Amino acid sequence: MSEQRPSPFHCGTQVASWRDRNCCCCTKDYKEATSKTSCDIEKAIANACFHHGRVSADIGRRMGYDPEVYPPFYTWDCPERDMKEPRDE
Q: By residue range, what is the domain housing residue 34?
A: 1-73
Q: Domain total for the chain?
A: 1
Q: Which pTM does this prediction carry? A: 0.81
In a domain, 81, yes or no: no
In a domain, 6, yes or no: yes
In a domain, 83, yes or no: no
pLDDT in tens, the chain (89 residues): 467 888 889 889 999 999 999 998 898 887 766 777 789 999 999 999 988 889 999 999 999 998 887 666 788 999 999 998 876 55
Contact 41, 78 (CB under 8 A): yes
Contacts of 74 (CB under 8 A, 6+ apart): 14, 17
Identify the DSSP state of 69: -
In a domain, 86, yes or no: no
In a domain, 59, yes or no: yes
In a domain, 65, yes or no: yes
